Structure 1
Amino acid sequence: MKSTKFKFLNLFLLFVSITLHAAQTKSKEIHKEIVVNPNAIIEIDNQFGDLNISSWNENRVVIDILITVNGSNPKRIEEKLEEITVDFELSPDRVFAKTEIDEGWGFKWFNSSNVKYQIDYQIKLPRSSSVDLKNDFGTILINELEGPAKISCDYGKLLIGDLLNEQNFLSFDFTSNSTIDFIKGGEIQADYSGFEVEEAGRIQLKADFTNSKFNTIESLSFNNDYGKLDVGRINNLNGSGDFLTLRIDTLFKKLDLHQEYGSIRIDQINTSAENLMIDTEFTGITLGVHPDWEFSYSIELDFSNLKSNLPLQHLIQREESNKKFFEGFFKNEKSNHYLNIKSEFGSVKLQDALISN
């Protein structure tokens, strides 16, 4: 009987111990607002949380910050809440906010005891203001901006609506599943990431180990190594890549590509296409040609082969050892549209786009 009572007592004490050490959550809120000029600069530097940016038609900036800490040590939770602060500089021309986290000698020790925290910003700002946003280990959300945007995000995600200015700079590393509805222009730098742009104007892309997708774009200039570049409808494309898989649905105007190792596939070269220049090594090339596109061509092959189901008219054809050269036209000998291909250690395939698809 006594043994049973002791067992119940031990279980009760264990339950109390677990309850006392169960996860607890505490938070604090910070609110700031100021009247600003319509073209004010808004600078935010955060980490371990989300930036939610909403533009509106008022000349005010409203910042609401929620800092949340959870863990099993109540004392440590309170200490961490005090250690997380936000520095502000507020003026009509410039609004600045930066998250500061005290990482003194005890930070790693206490962090190992399951103290976790998150710093989330909700910001309303004038639609025409310019922004400089930095957020690591979190998501940046934006509805619409008319002013130029500088955006940096590592180990997180971008969920962006419309960037209506031509001068935008986006830099992100180790992000995934990021999306942009519309960006009028600017530069994108991405490493070890994946993103999709629904519609864009003129974009410069610098990417490594990244999967990029543009569904509709006016002009794209790129330098892309190791990854995948998927383009839907595009007017002008020029760039270089190594170990790149490049796929284009429809090309409407100009193309200038330099690539080593990988593949290039264009499902359809439209009848409005002008000049196409492709220079590759160790790359497979597949071009779907609209049957009504008229063009002249020059194809130079070194350890490569040409295959085509089009009735190409060769005016010059030379084959010497592993080198081959073809010059001629398709449909119109006097066409001012030109296709120039140089391929080393690869393959070239020209096919009827309507039949191939």
Structure 2
Amino acid sequence: MKTIKLTTILLLFSLCAMAGAVRPYQHSPDERRRVITKEFSVRPGEALSIDNQFGSVTVNLWERNSIKVDIRITANAVSESRAMAYLDAVQIDEERQGGKIMIKTVIGRGPFTKNIGGQRNSQSLQIDYTLYMPRETALLVKNQFGDTKIPTFHAPLTIDCRYGDLFSNALENVSNLIEMSYGSAKLGKVVGGKFDFKYADLELKEIVKLELKNKFGELKIEDVTNLQADIDYSNAKIGVIRGPSQIRLNYSSDFSIDELQSLSKTLQIDANYSSVELPAQANRFKVSVTHGNFSYPAGKASFTVQPEKGIRPDKTQNFQGIIRNGAGAAITIQSKYGNVRFKD
């Protein structure tokens, strides 16, 4: 759980200030807490929208046709009066319109502004949401500077997570929209969705169908059926690909796939300033390399097209043929300023 110093609020959540960890208390703080509970009956087709900052959002599912939101606000300061001032600065707004139940954390700036120049490294504010909701209700979560925890979820889900981590066992709906920056995500099964990750690490266990943009992060996928991915400035490792997939790489030095199932049929890779490593399983391939090399296990590749011997490395080299008996997937790779390797 992330506890953020109040001094960062004075800087309008600047990236530099938020990067610092909370330091140990130099003297005993005074802690005050407040718990707010909101309950709603759910109308057919309604969605729940949560907008929080400086705390966690934890989702639980139940069989009731209602929503309950417990909000726990914790303030630490050098005195009771100051801690109470921090609590009073937090307002929880709610609105119900357009088919949405909307709950938002709003933090006033007055108490923090007054304390500029004082001893503030023992001050903190944390706002934690715990949700109880029906499994068929769609959910939208925006959370900054805190973790978001989702159970096995069946309804449409939209997540905007910044400066925090995201966890879920399974996202069973085909409509999952996730944006993330400056954090990490560990997800189990994902049936479908569109992900946009920047400066964030992503670990996925089982994917049915996914459109992914990943920039400046680490990517690990254990098992995927259908993938369309743009991967920039990131290291990426994929275990198994089972269906047709398209992948574009830019400045990604360590991209690898461990296994291609024969049912994957087609794999297309467009790589720039990136390395590509694939398994030397039975497949058909078309590989085009400019300013790079193409390597494969000796004696296991048969060619119908090969470049002339002695061709300059800055010229495009075209290869076409099969690995082993060629019974597997059809692989097409275009690579510029990087190497392509089929590995045993």
TM range (shorter): 0.7 to 0.9
Relative distance call for 1:110 and 1:79 in structure 2 (3 A) is: farther
- Give runs of aligned pairs for residues 156-167 of structure 1, distance below 5 A: 156-167=164-175
- Give runs of aligned pairs for residues 10-29 of structure 1, distance below 5 A: 22-29=28-35
1:218-252 deviation per Cα after TM superposition (whole angstroms, max 9, x unaligned)? 211111211122222222321212111xxxxxxxx
Relative distance call for 1:349 and 1:67 in structure 2 (3 A) is: closer
1:47 aligns with 2:53: yes
Q: Which one scores higher on RCO, CA 8 angstroms, separation ≥ 6?
A: 2
Q: Residue type of the partner of 1:27?
A: R
Q: Among residues 228, 232, 242, which one is paired with 2:235 in the alignment? A: 228
Residue 213 of structure 1 corresponds to which residue in structure 2?
Answer: 220
Query: TM-score, normalization: structure 1?
Result: 0.77
Relative distance call for 1:33 and 1:349 in structure 2 (3 A) is: closer
Q: Among residues 286, 301, 306, which one is paired with 1:312 in the alignment? A: 301
* Structure 2 unaligned residues grouped into runs of 5+: 1-26
* Structure 1 unaligned residues grouped into runs of 5+: 1-20, 245-261
Does the 8 Å contact 2:204/2:221 carry over to 1? yes
Identity of aligned residues (%): 25
Does the 8 Å contact 1:146/1:165 carry over to 2? yes
**Superposition RMSD in Å:** 2.7
Partners of 2:329 and 2:187 in 1: CA distance: 34
Larger strand fraction of residues: 1
Q: Among residues 138, 148, 153, which one is paired with 1:130 in the alignment? A: 138
> Structure 1 residue 23: deviation in Å?
1.3
SS for the counterpart of 2:85 is helix
SS for the counterpart of 1:162 is strand
Does the 8 Å contact 2:216/2:232 carry over to 1? yes
Q: Residue type of the partner of 1:136?
A: Q
> Structure 1 residue 71: deviation in Å?
1.4
Larger of the two Rg values belongs to structure:
1
Partners of 2:157 and 2:51 in 1: CA distance: 14
Q: Among residues 329, 333, 349, which one is paired with 2:341 in the alignment? A: 349
Query: TM-score, normalization: structure 2?
Result: 0.80
Residue 76 of structure 2 corresponds to which residue in structure 1?
Answer: 70
Does the 8 Å contact 2:262/2:329 carry over to 1? no
> Structure 1 residue 267: deviation in Å?
3.0
Partners of 1:344 and 1:93 in 2: CA distance: 49
Partners of 2:139 and 2:204 in 1: CA distance: 20
> Structure 1 residue 269: deviation in Å?
3.5
Matched residue pairs, number?
310
Relative distance call for 1:24 and 1:61 in structure 2 (3 A) is: same
Relative distance call for 1:127 and 1:107 in structure 2 (3 A) is: farther
Relative distance call for 1:282 and 1:33 in structure 2 (3 A) is: closer
